[in-house]
Amino acid sequence: MMNSVYLSLGSNLGNREEYIQKAIDALNDHPAIKVETISSLYETEPVGYTDQPPFLNLAVKLQTSLSAEDLLSITQEIENHLERTRKIRWGPRTIDLDILLYNSERIQSEQLHIPHPRMLERAFVMIPLFEIAPDLTFPDTDVSLDDVFRQLQNKEGVHIWKRKSGAGEYGPFEN
């Protein structure tokens, strides 16, 4: 069975775009994962711990035969491979991969909370997600992305950095 999943990716250390592209490539190279859609890249101000460089963020939709827990393990392996360190909560990082939605399921475990618990409050998550899935609704609610987007679209700190090009399923970004 294939599962529809949405992820948020972010980076604010080193070559941010390169880290994000390497993470997307690693996802797509996994035999049980197919990246379907990628949003444009957005430059965003940090949230929480603000004494750090700005982030690049985007959202991806993928199809996978992996369970949510197995997908979490894969995303953490990718983060480790790309030298992610966890010294400061919400601190600087080479790469961050968060599972936002997994089908229409609600999952609550020690390791995993789906839908992602703070996604509706974060413009840097919702604006790229709205770009690739404007008709999406949240599990067990009638909350639509459109409703959330209207509340967040004028929020400061999220700016288009590079638009997704029309080439291929995913690929180069345009200035």
Pick the CATH number of 3-166 from 3.40.50.720, 2.40.10.10, 3.30.70.560, 3.90.230.10: 3.30.70.560
Average pLDDT, the chain: 83
User: Which of 98, 106, 142, 146 is an active site residue?
Assistant: 98
> Distance between CA 130 and CA 145 in Å, rounded?
6
User: Which of 84, 89, 147, 163 is an active site residue?
Assistant: 84
**Strand partners for 97:** 9
Is 98 among the catalytic positions? yes
pLDDT bin (cut points 50, 70, 90) of residue 169 is: very low
In this predicted model, which residue has the larger pLDDT, 74 or 123?
Answer: 74
The reported pTM is 0.85
Q: What is the mean pLDDT of residues 28-55?
A: 87
Is 70 among the catalytic positions? no
pLDDT bin (cut points 50, 70, 90) of residue 170 is: very low
Is 93 among the catalytic positions? yes
Nearest to 100 by CA among 145, 166, 65: 145
> Distance between CA 139 and CA 112 in Å, rounded?
16
Is 163 among the catalytic positions? no
Q: What is the mean pLDDT of residues 103-129?
A: 88
Nearest to 101 by CA among 83, 86, 119: 119
In this predicted model, which residue has the larger pLDDT, 45 or 3?
Answer: 3
User: Which of 51, 70, 89, 96 is an active site residue?
Assistant: 96
Pairing state between β 55-64 and 3-11? antiparallel
Beta-carbon neighbour count of residue 66 at 10 Å?
A: 18
Return the domain boundaries, the chain: 3-166
User: Which of 70, 86, 93, 163 is an active site residue?
Assistant: 93
User: What beta strand segments (E) does 19-140 contain?
Assistant: 33-38, 41-44, 55-64, 96-102, 107-108, 113-114
Q: What is the mean pLDDT of residues 74-78?
A: 95
